[in-house]
Amino acid sequence: MKYDLSKKPTRGAQRTLEAFSKTMLELLSQKSFEHISVNEICDISNFPRATFYNYFDDKYDLVDYCWYTLAKEIQVDKVTKVESDRALIVYFDRLYDIFDKNKHLLNNILQNNQFSGQLVNSFINYFKNTMQKIFRKAIDYSKYDLPVELMADHCSDTVLLVLEWIFLRQQTTTQEQAHKYLDTLLN
């Protein structure tokens, strides 16, 4: 992404980024990712193409920013403030809440984009990488005789497997049931 997300955005930059990401998510709920063009995004957002390219390299970069905005709600920066043993559940619950809050949007996006397609894979991979970073920092691995990376991969894959099964495959499950599934799969 061309825009530096590590610095606080100006109000103008924030409005522009929000307009582009909102437009992309709206379009994704109406048609497949492959049929969305930068021109269409700019027309609907009411910004010139030059502005789009000041922030993003292409529509793939914009969709990564959309995942970034959803992931930001997980509050990765607060990872050190969570007890190691509870980190997995805390972040599972945060992801569950984000997915639940955006369930309607996710369902609409899935109606127009194949589950095994590029967009959904991008979504899953983005969140998998985010979860791996969280679990590398948050979980006490001293009690396991396994490499940290392997455990972080396992935990993130399992968390996302449960969330994918519930929200992307649309299986009606309570959060309490999801905790039981997660516990069983991890133990």
Q: For residue 127, what pLDDT is reported? A: 87
20, 42, 62, 118 from 37: Cα distances, Å: 12, 9, 11, 15
Asked whether residue 79 is domain-assigned, the answer is: yes
Q: Name the residue with higher pLDDT: 164 or 36.
A: 36
* Residues of the domain holding 52: 11-62
The residue to which tokens 């043993």 are assigned? 85
Residues 32 and 93 in one domain: no
Q: Could you tell me the two tokens for 88?
A: 């997995």
Average pLDDT over the chain, rounded to whole?
88
Q: What is the pTM of this model?
A: 0.82
Q: For residue 173, what pLDDT is reported? A: 92
Residues 89 and 179 in one domain: yes
The tally of domains found in the chain comes to: 2
Residues 124 and 94 in one domain: yes
CA 118 distance to own-chain centroid: 14
Top mean-pLDDT range of 51-60, 98-107, 155-164: 51-60
Asked whether residue 166 is domain-assigned, the answer is: yes
Tell me the residue type at 95: L
Residues 101 and 161 in one domain: yes
Mean pLDDT of 132-140: 79
Residues 35 and 83 in one domain: no
Q: How confident is the model at residue 54 (pLDDT cuts 50, 70, 90)?
A: very high
DSSP state of 8: P
Residues 31 and 77 in one domain: no
3-state class (DSSP) for residue 92 = helix
Q: How confident is the model at residue 85 (pLDDT cuts 50, 70, 90)?
A: low
Mean pLDDT of 155-159: 92
pLDDT tens digits for range 55-84: 999 999 999 999 999 888 777 556 555 555
Asked whether residue 3 is domain-assigned, the answer is: no
Q: For residue 177, what pLDDT is reported? A: 96
Asked whether residue 2 is domain-assigned, the answer is: no
Tell me the residue type at 176: E
pLDDT tens digits for range 15-38: 999 999 999 999 999 999 999 999
Q: What is the CATH number of the domain that holds 50?
A: 1.10.10.60
